[in-house]
Structures are given as C-alpha cells and as structure tokens.
A and B are shown apart, each in its own frame.
Chain A
Amino acid sequence: GAVVSQHPSWVICKSGTSVKIECRSLDFQATTMFWYRQFPKQSLMLMATSNEGSKATYEQGVEKDKFLINHASLTLSTLTVTSAHPEDSSFYICSARDPGGNEQFFGPGTRLTVL
C-alpha cells in the first residue's frame, strides 16, 4: 500500500517557540492531505484539510493563525504550530488521499511536547 511519512516522530520544545511537522506521501501524489490531533486516550479529531496549491480548510474551533498549514507540492504538507503552549502538547497525525483510489493512508504521527 501507499506510504505516508511524518517528520519528526517526536519533538520537545519550549513554550512560545514554533514547531514544524512534515507529512510526505512517499510513493504517490496527494492533492489532499488531512491533519488530525489526538489527545491521550482520545480519538482523532480533524484539524484541517490541506489542499495542494490552495488554502487549507480548518475545522471549527481550530485557530488557523496558530496552526499554519502549507501544501506546496503534491507530496508534502507541513503543519506549523506557532507560539506553542503546553496545551498544544498532543499526537499529530496526517493522512493523504491516494488520487487513484478512495482510501486515506495515515502517517505514523508526531508527538509534540511543549514544556
């Protein structure tokens, strides 16, 4: 099946700093990628839909100025958590849609810890 990677797999940062997370589709082109957030022992909650070449679509309650999404190419989407605070600590997971099919493929996730 298709492979989606995320980098880094984990990151620890100080409060107030910004963190960039990359999501790459390794063997297919993805016009649409999705960013989810998962708090401990909870389900995945959709944050935003990332569309190549256009602005991301954010879910209600997600601050677009805090969670910057860039989908500059068909294989890369980035999520930047700006001015991170401890409450932003979470597991961030991306997924990419295979344009040849109807399936989403998930990355391994990035664990963000903000001190």
Chain B
Amino acid sequence: AQSVTQLGSHVSVSEGALVLLRCNYSSSVPPYLFWYVQYPNQGLQLLLKYTTGATLVKGINGFEAEFKKSETSFHLTKPSAHMSDAAEYFCAVRRPMDMGRRALTFGSGTRLQVQP
C-alpha cells in the first residue's frame, strides 16, 4: 500500500517570497510522484512528475520538486510566489507497475495563499 502526507493544510506567503509545499510518501517500491494544482471549482492540472532519472524535476509556472529517496520526500518549491499561484496543491503517488491501471493516491492537499 502507498500513502501520501502533505504537511500543512494551509500555507501563506507574501508575493515574491519562496514557496515550499511539503510532501512525504510511503511506498513499498520507489514510486512515481506527481504534483497537481487545482483552482476553485476546476479539475486538476499536472504541475510536474517524477518517474525516473534526474531527481530534480521542473514543471510549469516556475515550480520544481526534488525526489529525495532517503527522506521519502517530494517537496514542491517556487523561488518567487505570484498572486496567480494561489490555489490548492495535491501531491500524488503511484507504483510504477500500476501505471495506467490504477488510479493515483492523493495527499490531503495544501491551500496556498499569496499575500500582496
């Protein structure tokens, strides 16, 4: 079984400040990891994903995340927050052998607020 823990249900930063959203996972095998963003009353949009290879993954809108196996973490960062980054962010995991057949397991989500 696999699980995802997102520390902090709410994160508030000032515009221009560093964004750090935390995600830790539990999996019996090295998983594939994803970050999604959800704007109010909308579906999910993929920000970035890690499957294999380079552990630092760059995504859309200036976000990036680093897979750290030793820490079982996949934290999401952005150097400078923008007002438009305010949204709900979900970390998700899936076992490589399950790709396509099984759904994702999502964390509880972190709501990012950006203060002017």
Q: A residues engaging B (CB < 8 A)?
A: 1, 4, 6, 32, 34, 36, 41-46, 49, 91, 93, 95, 97, 99, 102-104, 106-109, 111
Contacts and interface: CB of A to CB of B under 8 A. Distances in A.
Interface of B: 32, 36, 41-46, 49, 51, 90, 99-104, 106-109, 111
A63 to B, nearest CB: 18
Contacts of B108: 42-43
B42 A46 contact: no
A10 B32 CA distance: 32
Contact of A93 (B44, B51, B99, B100): B44
Given A41-B111, A42-B108, A109-B41, 8 more contacts: A34-B103, A43-B107, A43-B108, A49-B103, A104-B103, A106-B45, A108-B43, A109-B43
A-B pairs with lowest CB-CB distance, top 10: A106-B43, A106-B44, A108-B43, A102-B99, A34-B103, A46-B103, A43-B106, A97-B100, A43-B108, A109-B43
A43 B90 contact: yes
B106 A93 contact: no
B106 A44 contact: yes
A102 B100 contact: yes
Contacts of A99: 100
Nearest to B105: A46
A43 B103 contact: no
A53 B44 CA distance: 26
Contacts of B51: 102
Contacts of A95: 44, 103
Contacts of B109: 42-43
Contacts of A43: 90, 106-109
Contact of A109 (B42, B49, B90): B42
21 contacts: A1-B46, A32-B101, A34-B103, A42-B108, A43-B106, A43-B107, A44-B90, A44-B106, A45-B106, A91-B41, A97-B100, A102-B99, A102-B100, A104-B104, A106-B36, A106-B44, A106-B45, A107-B43, A108-B43, A109-B41, A111-B41
A6 B43 CA distance: 10
A113 B43 CA distance: 17
